[in-house]
Chains A and B, each alone.
Chain A
Amino acid sequence: MLDTTDADFAWSTASGIAAAVADGRASATRAVEAALARIRERDPLLNSFTAVTERRALARAQALDEARAKGMRLPPLAGVPFAVKNLFDVAGLPTLAGSKINRDLPPATRDAALIERLEAAGAILVGALNMGEYAYDFTGENIHDGPSRNPHDLNRMSGGSSGGSGAAVGGGLVPLALGSDTNGSIRVPSSLCGIFGLKPTYGRLTRARTFPFVASLDHLGPFARTTRDLALAYDAMQGFDADDPACADRAAEPVVPHLEKGADGLRIAVAGGYFKGKTAEAVAAVDSVASALGANRDIDIPQAERARSAAFIVTASEGASLHLDRLRARARDYDPAVRDRLIAGAMTPASLMVKAQKFRRWYREEVLKLFAEVDAILAPATPCTAPLIGQQTFMLDDTELPVRANLGLYTQPISFIGLPVVAVPVPLAPLPIAVQIIAAPWREDVGLRIAYALEAQGIVAAPRPAL
């Protein structure tokens, strides 16, 4: 039973808040005020928010409370505070996308489509979240706004590029957040901050009115501290939108009603070869999940290393093309680490970019064949737990690798062909790490059912930080 103290709200689930608001145990105004108080109290530590939309949130909460007082039935996420990575348009704010340059843009005139959809389901936007500049990042560091910090150890990275989303949900500021994932930017922060993240199938959720990075790889999705909350948010956001040319013309396929089917009857394998964990924590996390699911078969995802390389090239080239005019005009206003990668990307030969796109189709066909044999594949989400803020390199298999480019080692070959993935947190001590549950295109239900079953067994959970 949810009471209405701030301490209780801080760790309550979105579904718990919505139920309490719907049956009158709590008001939406109280839920929003509690979230705003937590943001004031804890965000100076986490640095996850770049804007707080207090007035708008309280007005919306009051409208919901009035609707309930009139006897109206409330929608499924009524009163649930949420926040969005600051590449989502929020009416009245410039869409920063983690940059200095975008601060000069006029304020957005309309919310991003997914904000509209979550608010139509009763959720209440409380602010915009810190992120890596222009989403070209796996660390959660930002030279303009400072790094968002890991709630489990404030000296460590939140992961990127949706670092503020990971820190805000993992730190109990909001039960729900949205982020983007081009190469791993939902799954990496989920792993480092110990929360659940869903990167849906490419084309499933509309990206309308969000700042792009790599059009052919960009996905949006939710973060939460339980599978049910992830599924509730996902169901509220599905559906075709003509405003995003890549959004698939598919009817919504709600998952919440199917969660309790669990993993029974599903064929689950562990990704071998390239995806075999190289640190004790990555190995322990995958072993623990595989063992709980009885997944004792290894499967080889063919040419995964090459797929990662191809994703690297497509990202460098498309990302650079997006920024070329800004690089000509305002190169000095970029984070140097992002600027130099983008400029190098602009110099990638077009013939090699097309080869990467040809390889992409070949690889997709080969990987899809695997789903005739299995329903889901398990792989580590990150090679290690959260590195220290400012750490430049880490050791993997006796090789020293740059952190910024390599935290997404295991996520890039999967998003490259748009497969849906649920990142599930394994609460190892002292720091959590996530496992990717990878399913066939359009089978988010499979990943979420498995996540739900693992959570019910206590194998995966969002650990509560000692903030």
Chain B
Amino acid sequence: MKRKTSRKPQASRAKRSLKPSRTSRASAKAKQAHATDTLVTANARALGLTLDPAWHGSIAFNLRLILRHAALVDGFALPDYAEPAPVFHA
């Protein structure tokens, strides 16, 4: 889930210069979208799924959403001894 942030009125010149330009952000986004499309095609083959090309965009959108959620979980450090809870018992 991507939240829009309010634009800060006075970002410093130095900081502003470190930000990627709008063009490079767009290019990074396009690369990411291409990577997800490639992933969808490869995974579909590995899983034996026959996809209608018309479905690719929506599947890729959903996969990007899952991966964004996964990144949030992945970013949380847990010790090697942490046990998973595949079947939860309250």
Contact = CB atoms under 8 A, between A and B. Distances in A.
Q: Are chains A and B native binding partners rather than an unrelated pairing?
A: yes
A343 B55 contact: yes
A359 B76 contact: yes
A315 to B, nearest CB: 10
Of B52, B65, B84, chain A has the most CB atoms within 10 Å of the CB of B84
B14 interface: no
Interface stretch (B17-25, B27-35, B41-49): B41-49
A346 B73 contact: no
B80 to A, nearest CB: 10
Interface stretch (A66-74, A85-93, A303-311, A423-431): A303-311
A358 B86 CA distance: 8
Contacts of B82: 358, 361-362
Nearest to A309: B69
Interface in B35-68: 39-40, 43-44, 47-52, 55, 58-63, 65-66
A458 interface: no
Given A347-B40, A358-B83, A441-B90, A310 B73 contact: yes
B46 to A, nearest CB: 9
B63 A344 contact: yes
A52 B52 CA distance: 37
Contacts, number: 135
Contact of A401 (B1, B74, B83): B1
B86 A216 contact: yes
Contact of B74 (A215, A344, A352, A360): A352
Nearest to B72: A309
A340 interface: yes
Contacts of A313: 66, 69-70, 73
A397 B89 contact: no
A398 B39 CA distance: 32
Nearest to A419: B90
A417 B70 contact: no
Of A309, A324, A349, A418, chain B has the most CB atoms within 10 Å of the CB of A309
B73 A356 contact: yes
Q: Which size bracket describes the interface of B in this complex?
A: 35 or more
A241 to B, nearest CB: 16
A340 B62 contact: yes
Contact of B70 (A346, A348, A405): A348
A364 interface: yes
B17 to A, nearest CB: 28
B78 interface: yes
Given A359-B76, A397-B3, A405-B65, A328 B48 contact: yes
B72 A344 contact: no
B85 A361 contact: yes
Nearest to B69: A309
Contacts of B87: 215-216, 246
A151 to B, nearest CB: 31
Interface string A147-172: 00000000000000000000000000
A411 to B, nearest CB: 15
Contacts of A360: 84-85, 88
A331 B50 contact: yes
Of B47, B52, B61, chain A has the most CB atoms within 10 Å of the CB of B47
B32 to A, nearest CB: 15
A225 interface: no
A399 B3 contact: yes
Contacts of A441: 90
B15 interface: no
A216 B2 CA distance: 27
Interface string A396-416: 011101000110000000000
A256 interface: no
B4 interface: yes
A417 B58 contact: no
Given A340-B58, A354-B84, A358-B83, A328 B72 contact: no
Given A203-B89, A343-B51, A359-B78, A309 B70 contact: yes
Contact of B55 (A324, A339, A345): A339
B35 to A, nearest CB: 13
Of A308, A355, A419, chain B has the most CB atoms within 10 Å of the CB of A355
A248 interface: yes
Contact of B84 (A308, A340, A358, A398): A358
Given A343-B49, A364-B85, A306 B73 contact: yes
A390 interface: no
A357 interface: yes
A417 B90 contact: yes
13 contacts: A202-B88, A215-B87, A310-B73, A336-B58, A343-B44, A343-B59, A344-B60, A347-B43, A355-B70, A357-B84, A358-B83, A359-B73, A417-B88
Given A202-B89, A358-B83, 10 more contacts: A310-B73, A312-B69, A347-B44, A347-B66, A349-B70, A361-B82, A364-B85, A399-B3, A417-B88, A418-B90
Q: 5 tightest A-B contacts by CB?
A: A344-B62, A357-B84, A441-B90, A309-B69, A347-B43
